[in-house]
């Protein structure tokens, strides 16, 4: 995956987003709102310069901040951003992907969500990997440094499994990372959960240290930290994680390969993007 974006690519992306004279032309206040919707930290205020030039400068100034650029590219292609939803989002996705092709990047609709991936060697399919710049991103979300260290290490170990062909263990590791991420966030930011645990679908409390991934996904969605599509998208990964039990693997006989692992990183990126858009950084 090519990052940071070339300056000329950033300029072409800005032209698409502003759409001067087109049906989706964005005013200055709409550009500022778009950056906020994309979860940019300390989003810039418009300075009165030409809109395309101004947005190009913002993209170039932040080109080393991969997560901000990635979330903006996905937000521009997100149906939630448009009155008619999917129709306009798809037009933008096609236009954005045309400009990203030279970088071998593509915004793909995966599980109903826009997710940034890398084009495969044939230039036909999107391939997903573990989120980049993860250490910095997690430290903006989670106060406890030990928890961040553990989560980063879990992803590094998952990458090792993926690279060595241990596909089942890699998928188990992906689910484990998401569980740890949600546990850290929910217990740090919700005093009731720390004291009383999670409230399940039956209305009963489950101690925090006994809550499973399904319950944490439900809770994060109820708090509007993650969208329904992302939650549902992650549900298959949650089910795959059950193959940590040899009996389940013997019964189902899954045939995981490197493509299976790559697809499972897609919902992780969607969930992380949602969280970064929805909650305030801790530092």
Same domain, yes or no: 227 and 195: yes
- pLDDT for 176 beyond 70: yes
Q: Percentage of the chain surpassing pLDDT 70?
A: 99
Same domain, yes or no: 79 and 150: no
Among 126, 145, 166, give the residue marking a domain's end.
126
Buried b (16+ CB within 10 A) or exposed e, 148-175: beebbebbeebeebbeeebbbbbbbbbb
Q: Domain residues for 267?
A: 134-278
CA distance 105 to 103: 5
- Whether 48 is covered by a domain: the verdict is yes
Query: pLDDT tens digits for 117-128?
Result: 998 877 777 888
Among 99, 126, 153, give the residue marking a domain's end.
126
Into how many domains does the chain fold? 2
pLDDT of the residue at 57: 97
Same domain, yes or no: 145 and 269: yes
Binning pLDDT at 50, 70 and 90, where does residue 181 land? very high
- pLDDT for 196 beyond 80: yes
Same domain, yes or no: 105 and 20: yes
Binning pLDDT at 50, 70 and 90, where does residue 154 land? very high
* Residue with token string 């037009």: 91
pLDDT of the residue at 105: 94
Same domain, yes or no: 174 and 220: yes
- The pTM of this model reads 0.84
Q: What is the largest CA-CA distance in the chain?
A: 64
pLDDT of the residue at 188: 97
Among 63, 93, 126, give the residue marking a domain's end.
126
Same domain, yes or no: 165 and 228: yes
Query: pLDDT tens digits for 20-75?
Result: 999 999 999 999 999 999 999 888 999 999 999 999 999 999 999 999 999 999 99
- Whether 1 is covered by a domain: the verdict is no
Closest CA to 76 of 93, 60, 62: 93
Query: pLDDT tens digits for 218-229?
Result: 999 999 999 988
Same domain, yes or no: 141 and 107: no
Binning pLDDT at 50, 70 and 90, where does residue 2 land? low
| CATH number (domain holding residue 190) | 1.20.120
Same domain, yes or no: 142 and 189: yes
Query: pLDDT tens digits for 257-271?
Result: 988 998 899 999 999
Burial class (CB in 10 A: 0-12, 13-18, 19+), 246: exposed
């Amino acid at each position: 995956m090519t990052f940071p974006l070339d300056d000329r690519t950033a300029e072409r992306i800005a032209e698409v987003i502003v759409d001067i004279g087109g049906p989706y032309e964005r005013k200055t206040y709409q550009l500022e709102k778009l950056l906020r919707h994309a979860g940019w930290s300390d989003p810039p205020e418009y300075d009165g310069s030409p809109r395309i030039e101004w947005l190009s400068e913002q993209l170039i100034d932040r080109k080393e901040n991969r997560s901000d650029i990635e979330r903006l590219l996905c937000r521009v292609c997100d149906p939630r951003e448009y009155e008619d939803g999917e129709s306009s989002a798809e037009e933008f996705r096609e236009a954005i992907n045309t400009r990203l092709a030279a970088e071998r990047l593509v915004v793909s609709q995966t599980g109903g969500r826009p997710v940034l991936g890398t084009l495969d060697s044939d230039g036909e399919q999107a391939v997903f990997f573990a989120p980049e710049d993860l250490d910095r991103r997690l430290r903006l979300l989670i106060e406890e440094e030990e928890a961040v260290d553990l989560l980063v290490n879990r992803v590094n170990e998952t990458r090792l499994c993926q690279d060595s062909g241990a596909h089942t263990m890699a998928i188990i590791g992906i689910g484990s990372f998401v569980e740890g991420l949600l546990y850290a966030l929910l217990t740090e930011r919700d005093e009731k959960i720390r004291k009383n645990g999670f409230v399940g679908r039956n209305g009963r409390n489950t101690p925090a240290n006994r809550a499973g991934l399904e319950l944490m996904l439900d809770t994060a969605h109820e708090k509007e930290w993650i969208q329904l599509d992302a939650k549902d998208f992650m549900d298959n990964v949650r089910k795959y994680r059950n193959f940590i039990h040899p009996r389940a693997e013997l019964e189902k006989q899954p045939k995981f390969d490197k493509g299976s692992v790559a697809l499972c990183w897609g919902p992780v990126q969607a969930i992380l993007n949602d969280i970064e858009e929805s909650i305030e950084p801790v530092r």
